[in-house]
Amino acid sequence: MSDPAKKLCPECGSEMSLAVESYPMGSAFLHERFHVDIFRCRKCGRVELFASEKAKMVTCPVCGATHSPKEKCPICAINTAFSGHAAD
């Protein structure tokens, strides 16, 4: 197992630094969102995306969709919006 925190730039071989952690790809309308860690090379500016290993997805007990534990279930939020009831 290699150290997941250490990414080397494929361009110049320098160590890349984590620029954005667990960035959600796609929109809230996608059933399953994909989180990535964005690494940037300080030397040449190259940016690489890696599948986030820290974002542990949770499964919604209501609709079964997987989403980040940091946010409310996007599917249920949409369902609530379309059902005519207030989101709160």
Q: Which residues lie near Zn ion (CB under 5 A)? A: 9, 11-12, 14, 41, 43-44, 46, 60, 62-63, 73, 75-76
Q: In terms of CB distance, is 54 or 72 closer to Zn ion?
A: 72
Q: How far is the CB of 80 from Zn ion (least distance, A)?
A: 9
Q: Order of strands across the sheet with 34-41? A: 7-8, 15-25, 34-41, 47-51
Q: In terms of CB distance, is 17 or 21 closer to Zn ion?
A: 17
For residues 34 and 9, what is the distance between their CA atoms, to the nearest angstrom? 22
Q: How far is the CB of 58 from Zn ion (least distance, A)?
A: 10
Q: In terms of CB distance, is 5 or 62 closer to Zn ion?
A: 62
For residues 44 and 50, what is the distance between their CA atoms, to the nearest angstrom? 18
15 forms bridges with which residues in the sheet?
8
